[in-house]
Amino acid sequence: MKLQAFVSRSVLFVLLGMFLVSCGGGQAEGDGKLTILEWSGYEATENPDFFGPFVEKYGETFGDKLDYIFFAEDAEAYAKIQTDVAADLVHPCNSWWQLYVDNGLVQEIDTTKLSNWSHVNPALAAMGQFDGKQYFVPWDWGYESMLVRTDLVPEVPTSWADLWDPQYAGHIALWDSGEANYAMTALAFGIDPWNTTPEDDEFIKQKLIELKPNVLTYWSDYTEAYDLPQTGDAWIVVNAWQDAYANADSSGYAVEYVQPAEKRLGWVCGFGISPNTADLDLAYEYIDASIADSSMAALANTYWYGPSNTNALADIDPYVVEFMELDQAASIQERTSFYRPITEEQRQIRTGIWDEVKVSQ
């Protein structure tokens, strides 16, 4: 934590300031800059409309206030924040939030400092609460499913289990995520992904190894999920988010975003504040701007994501509302298997299984 940046006229004030910082007695004044641990593609410098009020306040210099460190999946973000990455804000997804809280990696959110908080969906807000305290501000939510080039596949899959069909040999692209592939495989074979046994773990590992002859490649960055369907080599992009479908569809490709018989997977992601953040006010400004009505509508219209701000619905393209079922909350819950919090033990098991699968012959 930095000391206040002014020249003191009194040694006493300097000593007092040092004492307060060392014992945690006060919040130090920041340097006017935030470091954000973020998924690629969500940065304000690339999509300023996603953080409209922040950009409007600081004008052309808003980018000078932001640094980004990128990650490709939650396991990577969690590993980075536990080591030497000094981030003020982090944007993980809900199955990992409990781990951040348990390990003291985020501080409690004071929602009274967020002018747009009253518009946040209460059900999503509740996901970010632990022991009655708010630790995460939900921002975006969406699906994981199969993005299929319907003009290339012999038959469009209707189930996660169809991915093991030899007709797709060498033409499937999997997301390079142990958590996602574990959950997808569990659903495919009738296993509850959130309540598994050691026997289930071994079964899921073997099924993922059996899937490898059908796998063309692993994708990590969202831009790869955009590019792969266009090459024609990948017929099916697995665990793709709906923005990949939006991109392929708007580019004129014959694609389908499958609703598997076993349900799509669903995720909710949001912002947490590091306990070591030096500029707390700026962190709140950034988060508050992200959940503003206009910001949330821009996110939904660009990536076809679900916004946490229910007030944004009126400004979202009607086609996006229909595709995402944004006006059918009950239906979404019934047709989607949303990720749930995992324990540290589960995290290690699922990451370990995926590492073993990738190196297997």
What does the alpha-carbon distance between residue 68 and residue 297 come to, in Å, rounded to a whole number?
A: 23
Q: Which residues of the chain have pLDDT under 50?
A: 1-28
Contact 340, 267 (CB under 8 A): no
First-to-final CA distance of the chain: 48
- pLDDT score at 346: 93
Residue 43 neighbours by CB under 8 Å, 6+ apart: 36, 66, 68
Contacts of 130 (CB under 8 A, 6+ apart): 97, 98, 101
- How high is the pLDDT of residue 30? 58
Amino acid at 151: D
pLDDT in tens, 144-196: 999 999 999 999 999 999 999 999 999 999 999 999 999 999 999 999 999 99
Q: Mind listing the domains of the chain with CATH numbers? A: 11-141+267-334 (3.40.190.10), 142-266+340-359 (3.40.190.10)
Res 333: pLDDT: 78
Residues in contact with 28: Cβ distance below 8 Å, sequence separation at least 6, in sequence order: 1, 2, 3, 4, 21, 278
pLDDT of residue 32: 86
